[in-house]
Amino acid sequence: MVESTRIVLASRPVGAPTPANFRIETVELPPPAEGEVVLRTLYLSLDPYMRGRMSAAESYASPVEIDEVMVAGTVAEVLESRDPSLAEGDVVLAYSGWQSHQVVPAGAVRKLDPDKAPISTALGVLGMPGFTAYSGLLKIGQPKAGETLVVAAASGPVGSAVGQIARIKGARAIGIAGGPDKVAYVRDDLGFDAAIDHRAPDFADQLRAAVPDGIDIYFENVGGAVADAVYPLLNTYARVPVCGLIANYNAADVPEGPDRLPAFYSRILTKSVTVRGFIQSEFVKEMYKDFLRDMSGWIADGSVRYREDIVEGLENAPEAFIGLLEGRNFGKLVVRVG
Amino acid sequence: MVESTRIVLASRPVGAPTPANFRIETVELPPPAEGEVVLRTLYLSLDPYMRGRMSAAESYASPVEIDEVMVAGTVAEVLESRDPSLAEGDVVLAYSGWQSHQVVPAGAVRKLDPDKAPISTALGVLGMPGFTAYSGLLKIGQPKAGETLVVAAASGPVGSAVGQIARIKGARAIGIAGGPDKVAYVRDDLGFDAAIDHRAPDFADQLRAAVPDGIDIYFENVGGAVADAVYPLLNTYARVPVCGLIANYNAADVPEGPDRLPAFYSRILTKSVTVRGFIQSEFVKEMYKDFLRDMSGWIADGSVRYREDIVEGLENAPEAFIGLLEGRNFGKLVVRVG
């Protein structure tokens, strides 16, 4: 009999999540049926979209129910297999959530090759965040040589890939990050053309100075004050792929004024801007193969770099997730469970 | 020597324009040079975009300078021609503004065939507003059979064409208009599937009831409270061509809260919505020929109807324009000058 330690949603947060919204518990798992495998989680991914799943509000995916396990992409080891496609010891990409073990159908996981890349990258640069960057930038952003791109959370898994891919396509990449360490990393290690600290009092002026030809692509993954500074600088026919709005996720009430919508809408009108929300799953069928080929190549030749922020222990996942929403992580946030 | 009576911008409006922002005056025109023609204005078009030209704020076109003639598309008669391409008596489409006469290069006008359609339609259903509807709907809205479209100002020249073209393409068209006469016209004369009065206290509920399958295309030409009611009903992959925001045009200050942007942005994200501002001129080269062919055919076979609101006398243009921004016109607003 296998026991699983797991973290469930104890209550829905109002505003920012707190440790009290989570509960850790241990359950016994049923034995695997024919066609199923028993997984032991090695790494679990923490991503901003999980804040949406903690709320009951309508979104692109169903909420996590109270007392249910928090959702997450995971990298896991097969402990026992009752399916011929997988063997004990195989390492797989799964969606098994914030828990140490799970029994799932073999068809719900994808086998990884540990020799090709570090297995944790299947949750980051070679996984959902990397594909979000790749698909949204190439399909919606459509960078052209000489254009200017701006992306926030530029030291994170999505933003860092967006800027580096834009540069591969010949565009200038301006990254926005929080604090001097992240700014230095984005500029010096990732090779962005410029990096700006959104906490600087003259942030909007610094951004304006960094984009003398305006902004052709704003890859939107934060919203809030960064978007306020970006929109007035958008060029005619600018593209704004919207993959996340982390600045808004913890908002409990309709925010106070002033009403920023008319100015945004007006910029969209007068500059013929395209704003397009997307979820990476829309493009999986069309682009995932190309993504794995391109991104593996770029990592191998050094044109895309990545950084992981690894937290030890499942029990530390709630605190790490709360910090993620405040920008306390530095790189792709992953919990080492095994 | 030809005299021209003209209306110039006397001062920039703060908020809604008033008659004091305009001044009527008479000037003598220079004789035409080689290659030029003397025009006598027959009709001049009044359109919401002119409010933008009265402001000094950055937009897609330069503002009208103080003491300069207000801009407008016109239909005019050639009084005298010094160019072989045009003869006295020819009727042309020009951009000669709020004035009775003008001297322009022959190349700046396009000859109309008065036998093909009433000449005033070159300012409406067969002109810029009709092409705005046609290009924005087909290129950005991309209506498919069975989809649901919503458009406001549905008795006006853009909205009426948008809804009727959507129906030709097999979509359901829901029109929004102000007051019972316009609503009845949109539903009964234009044949929209439903029409709703945005002044009704239960407007948002009526709209929700009229779109049981949600909204696939919202052709945005007003903004404001109509947009507030529409966005929560947008379906996944909805398209929002934005050609105008008349509800905002008279705003003098940054509007008070609540801040409506987070909710709009969130809908764009969670429903993978495309919002795209556009100016019809972007599509002229690619689509104008098709537009003239299609729209002429649809008018001839009765599948597109239109309505004009004709005001007599150039001196009444300011008052008519002020009324346009308040929705007082009923159909395409045109001033008969000749």
Amino acid symbol at B288:
Y
Q: What is the pLDDT of residue A252?
A: 67
A136 and A259 fall within a common domain: yes
Is the model's pLDDT at A254 over the cut of 90?
no
- B269: chain A residues, CB-CB within 8 Å: 242-245, 277
Look up residue B106 and give its DSSP letter.
G
- B262: chain A residues, CB-CB within 8 Å: 223, 245, 248, 251, 254-255
Residue A219 inside a domain? The answer is yes
**Contact, A43 vs A119, CB < 8 A?**
yes
Residue A286 inside a domain? The answer is no
Q: Residues for chain B: how many in total?
A: 338
Residue B227 inside a domain? The answer is yes
Q: What is the pLDDT of residue B61?
A: 77
Residue A288 inside a domain? The answer is no
B265 and B183 fall within a common domain: yes
Chain A nearest CA to B97, separation (Å): 22
Instruction: Over range A215-223, report the average pLDDT.
Output: 95
Which of A245, A275, A279 would you mutate first to test chain B, the one with the most B CBs within 10 A?
A275
Question: What's the domain range around A107?
Answer: 3-124+307-336
- A265: chain B residues, CB-CB within 8 Å: 223, 227, 242, 245, 248
Among residues B264, B281, B298, the one where a domain terminates is B281
- B223: chain A residues, CB-CB within 8 Å: 262, 265
Whether B255 and chain A come into contact, CB under 8 Å, resolves to yes
**Contact, B22 vs B5, CB < 8 A?**
no
> What is the pLDDT confidence band of residue A187, given thresholds at 50, 70 and 90?
very high
- Which residue would you say has higher pLDDT here, A222 or A276? A276
pLDDT in tens, A77-91: 999 999 999 999 999
**Contact, B309 vs B334, CB < 8 A?**
yes
Q: Cβ A259–B254 below 8 Å, yes or no?
A: yes
| Residue A61, token pair as written in the block | 């995916």
Q: Which of residues 259-288 of A touch B (CB under 8 A)?
A: 259-266, 268-279, 282
Amino acid symbol at B83:
D
Looking at every residue in chain A, the average pLDDT score rounds to 95
Q: What is the pLDDT of residue B249?
A: 74
Phi, psi of A192 (to 5 degrees): -60, 155
Chain A nearest CA to B214, separation (Å): 14
Residue A293 inside a domain? The answer is no
**Contact, B211 vs B246, CB < 8 A?**
no
Cα angle for residues B209, B214, B220 (degrees, 5° grid): 100
A165 and A177 fall within a common domain: yes
Amino acid symbol at A93:
L
B179 backbone φψ class: left, alpha, beta (φ>0; ψ -120 to 50): left
Q: What is the CATH number of the domain that holds B62?
A: 3.90.180.10
B42 and B187 fall within a common domain: no
Q: What is the pLDDT of residue B255?
A: 79
Ranking A64-68, A325-329, B18-22, B26-30 by mean pLDDT, the lowest is: A325-329
Among residues B242, B265, B281, the one where a domain terminates is B281
CA distance B184 to B194: 10
B137 and B274 fall within a common domain: yes
Which of A269, A270, A282 would you mutate first to test chain B, the one with the most B CBs within 10 A?
A269
B219 and B173 fall within a common domain: yes
**Contact, A112 vs A91, CB < 8 A?**
yes
B151 and B28 fall within a common domain: no
B107 Cβ contact partners less than 8 Å away, ≥ 6 residues apart: B35, B85
Residue B302 CB coordination number (10 Å): 8
Residue the block writes with tokens 């600018």: A238
- B218: chain A residues, CB-CB within 8 Å: none
Q: What is the CATH number of the domain that holds A158?
A: 3.40.50.720
Q: What is the pLDDT of residue B252?
A: 67
Per-residue confidence in pLDDT tens, chain B, 338 aa: 899 999 999 999 999 999 999 999 999 999 999 999 999 999 999 999 999 999 987 667 789 999 999 999 999 999 999 999 999 999 999 999 999 999 999 999 999 999 989 999 999 999 999 999 999 999 999 999 999 999 999 999 999 999 999 999 999 999 999 999 999 999 999 999 999 999 999 999 999 999 999 999 999 998 889 999 999 999 999 999 999 887 777 776 677 878 899 999 999 999 999 999 999 999 999 999 999 999 999 999 999 999 999 999 999 999 999 999 998 999 999 999 97
B18 and B105 fall within a common domain: yes
Q: What is the pLDDT of residue A151?
A: 98
Q: Which of residues 288-307 of B touch A (CB under 8 A)?
A: none
Helix (H, G, I), strand (E, B) or coil at B235: strand
Residue B301 inside a domain? The answer is no
**Contact, A162 vs A137, CB < 8 A?**
yes
Domain count, chain A: 2
CB contact burial B254-264 (16+ within 10 A = b; e otherwise): ebeeebbbbbb
A21 and A94 fall within a common domain: yes
A297 Cβ contact partners less than 8 Å away, ≥ 6 residues apart: none
A110 and A25 fall within a common domain: yes
CA distance A161 to A6: 31
**Nearest chain B alpha carbon to A220:** B269
B91 and B113 fall within a common domain: yes
Residue B324 inside a domain? The answer is yes
**Contact, A234 vs A267, CB < 8 A?**
yes
Helix (H, G, I), strand (E, B) or coil at A180: helix
B257 and B147 fall within a common domain: yes
Residue A299 inside a domain? The answer is no
Look up residue A108 and give its DSSP letter.
G
CB contact burial B305-324 (16+ within 10 A = b; e otherwise): ebbbbebeebeebbebbbbb
Is the model's pLDDT at A308 over the cut of 80?
yes
Chain B nearest CA to A196, separation (Å): 24
